[in-house]
């Protein structure tokens, strides 16, 4: 079910305000110069009616409740000098789940801010064809846990990671690998993101993405309030980006989950624009 018009207008205003207020981050090992950066406002539409079993990591799915999400996301990176940049990932959205009980559809929904991420990135090697960096992000638990479905995990987390990238003519690739650590519960997710792009025409590029998260299981059962911190998934995507100008690069991506554990399997469409300054 699409988001209500008034909700879309409200969140669109929030996203635009954030774009204006925050100096911006993409996960990129090349550190922009002080005052330079990129901001990526986007809309992500997720839809699912199946899930992966909670008993083990698998590629097989089983029928599950319907889950839909309309998410407004703003990511960015801003150079602040001396090899440092500020990175962020800001999110708000509307989640809706529905299930059939006694031949009746029971729906629940929640809308508002989700958990936000902000961090500091420091460049190590920085050359035109190779770069690497180290990052420390903080995940702020701004998403409501009282909503059903919940909009956040309920606890803050730390994300140390390393990033590396190469550029060879028309081809480019980056990888980010690290952990998301919840100090309160001790839950740790090992996470990695990969990107590969190819410029097929002077203004048009195609790209592929991949994301993996595996949670390190704890020796004791987690409290119910900590269950949202467990995240096991493999997701892949493909898309196109067009260089409209030196400043604007709209993009489109289609993503699909390939494997997981105790999580919905589904598809996601992403539409946005990269604004460089």
| Token pair 């409290």: residue | 223
Residue 74 CA to residue 43 CA, distance in Å, equals: 9
* 195 pLDDT higher than 60: yes
Looking at per-residue confidence, does 2 or 61 come out higher? 61
Instruction: Work out the pLDDT band at 220, boundaries 50, 70, 90.
Output: low
Q: Which residues pair with 162 in a beta bridge?
A: 134, 177
* 275 pLDDT higher than 50: yes
pLDDT at 217: 66
Q: What is the b/e burial string over 48-82, where b = at least 16 CB atoms within 10 angstroms of the residue's CB?
A: bebbbeeeeeeeebeebbbbbbbbbbbbbbbbbee
Query: Could you read off the pLDDT of 135-183 as tens digits, one per residue?
Result: 999 999 999 988 778 899 999 999 999 999 999 999 999 999 999 999 9
Listed as own residue / partner, the contacts of 136-143 with beta carbons closer than 8 Å and 24 or more positions apart are 136/160, 137/87, 137/161, 139/115, 139/180, 140/115, 140/116, 141/115, 142/113, 142/114, 142/115, 142/116, 143/91, 143/112, 143/113, 143/114, 143/115
Overall average pLDDT of the 96-112 stretch: 83
Query: Could you read off the pLDDT of 198-219 as tens digits, one per residue?
Result: 999 999 999 999 999 999 866 5
Q: Chain-wide mean pLDDT for the chain?
A: 88
Phi then psi dihedrals of residue 188, to 5 deg:
-130, 130
* 108 pLDDT higher than 90: no
Residue percentage of the chain with pLDDT more than 70 = 86
pLDDT at 104: 77
In this structure, of 78-82, 217-221, 273-277, the range with the lowest mean pLDDT score is 217-221
pLDDT at 10: 38
Q: Which residues pair with 133 in a beta bridge?
A: 123, 163
Residue 205 CA to residue 217 CA, distance in Å, equals: 39
C-alpha atoms less than 13 angstroms from C-alpha of 220 in its C-beta half-sphere: 5
Query: Could you read off the pLDDT of 21-55 as tens digits, one per residue?
Result: 333 334 589 999 999 999 999 999 999 999 999 99
């Amino acid at each position: 079910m699409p988001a209500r018009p008034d909700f879309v207008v409200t969140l669109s205003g929030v996203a635009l305000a954030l774009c204006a207020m925050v100096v911006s981050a993409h996960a990129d090992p090349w550190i922009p110069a002080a005052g330079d950066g990129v901001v990526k406002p986007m809309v992500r539409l997720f839809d699912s009616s199946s899930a992966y079993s909670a008993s083990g990591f698998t590629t097989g799915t089983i029928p599950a409740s319907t889950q839909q999400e309309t998410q407004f996301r703003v990511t960015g990176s801003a150079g602040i000098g001396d090899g440092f940049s500020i990175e962020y990932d800001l999110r708000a959205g509307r989640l809706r789940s529905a299930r059939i009980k006694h031949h009746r559809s029971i729906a629940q929904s929640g809308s508002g801010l989700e958990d936000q991420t902000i961090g500091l990135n420091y460049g190590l090697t920085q050359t035109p064809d190779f770069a690497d960096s180290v990052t420390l992000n903080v995940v702020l638990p701004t998403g409501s846990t009282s909503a059903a479905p919940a909009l956040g995990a309920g606890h803050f987390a730390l994300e140390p990671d390393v990033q590396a990238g190469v550029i060879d003519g028309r081809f480019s690739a980056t990888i980010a690998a690290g952990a998301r650590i919840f100090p309160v519960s001790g839950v740790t997710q090992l996470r990695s993101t990969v990107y590969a792009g190819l410029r097929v025409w002077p203004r048009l590029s195609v790209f592929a993405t991949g994301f993996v998260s595996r949670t390190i299981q704890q020796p004791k059962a987690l409290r119910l309030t900590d269950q949202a911190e467990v995240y096991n998934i493999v997701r892949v995507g493909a898309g196109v980006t067009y260089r409209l100008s030196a400043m604007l690069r709209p993009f489109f991506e289609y993503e699909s989950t390939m494997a997981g554990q105790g999580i919905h399997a589904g598809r996601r469409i992403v539409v946005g624009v990269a604004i460089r300054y």
